[in-house]
Structure 1
């Protein structure tokens, strides 16, 4: 069984992330979307909220071989723990490649048996990032088409003062 890991902070998940998830799920038997506990970032959404939103977004696309799990620590340790073969990384632009190449080489140095597969984002989402979605939502802009419809209200409610469970 071929297991891939798609790691990220997903704060929040965007349609660009979902596009990579859908496409990656077609080339492996099992795809684990690993939601990273990052000590370098201060997320807008809690870990539970990010995992929940990802789960709902994935259910809406009928990707039956996709699971969502949170993790902390080294990515290569999570990959080994899950008996995975490949790390999937989405790329939007050359600037992404530079950083992701460095990370892939570091991971390869730590665990030579683990491969990293780079997947180019769809042209429809090459401009899209979670940071941009949050910035647009913060100023009451339109995020329709940028995030899965099933989580749009979760994002909006973060900036209108209502809790996610209130929406």
Structure 2
């Protein structure tokens, strides 16, 4: 019998963008189970609290079999070990993301043997980040094409 292939897609997801959803969808196509893990960082104040982000991600991934959305604190490799996940999946928008993520991937592999899989961002989405979406929305710009509809609605309600 073959082993269940599990992956973790960690992030802050504040708010989840179509780029995040693209990476989660593609990961779900490669693995049997995908844990979307939202980091609880008490030093960072998000626009949405962790429970709201969990709720949004559960809503926008409801059609994806094998996807579980949870929050966690501590090291992502410990979270992977607790879930029996062999792989971390990270979306990359460009060289800056790669330069930031590569040392962490090496450290995670050294600490626990967990491998990191980098997925390139989809064309047309590589410049989209949660921070940029929030900034543009606060300035009155239309960010509807960068967010799943349910997330866009919540963002606009939060900012008005």
- The interval holding the TM-score normalised by the smaller chain is over 0.9
RMSD (Å) for aligned C-alpha atoms: 0.9
TM-score, normalised via structure 1 length: 0.91
String of CA shifts for 1:51-78, please: whole Å, max 9, x gaps: 011111112xx21111100000001100
1:40 CA drift (Å): 4.3
* 1:133 and 2:133 matched: yes
Name the structure 2 match of 1:13.
16
What runs of 5+ residues in structure 2 fail to find an aligned partner? none
1:41 CA drift (Å): 2.6
One of 20, 28, 31 as aligned partner of 1:28: 31
Name the structure 1 match of 2:106.
105
1:39 CA drift (Å): 3.7
String of CA shifts for 1:28-64, please: whole Å, max 9, x gaps: 00000000112443211101100011111112xx211
* 1:48 and 2:43 matched: no
Which whole-Å CA distance do the structure 1 matches of 2:69 and 2:143 have between them? 24
String of CA shifts for 1:97-126, please: whole Å, max 9, x gaps: 000001111111211x21110110101210
Give the aligned length: 157
Name the structure 2 match of 1:116.
116
SS for the counterpart of 1:142 is coil
Which whole-Å CA distance do the structure 2 matches of 1:136 and 1:154 have between them? 15
SS for the counterpart of 2:70 is strand
Which consecutive segments of 4 or more residues in structure 1 shift more than 6 A? none
Name the structure 2 match of 1:159.
159
TM-score, normalised via structure 2 length: 0.95
Which whole-Å CA distance do the structure 1 matches of 2:139 and 2:60 have between them? 24
Name the structure 2 match of 1:163.
none
Which whole-Å CA distance do the structure 1 matches of 2:118 and 2:143 have between them? 27
Name the structure 2 match of 1:76.
77
1:150 CA drift (Å): 1.6
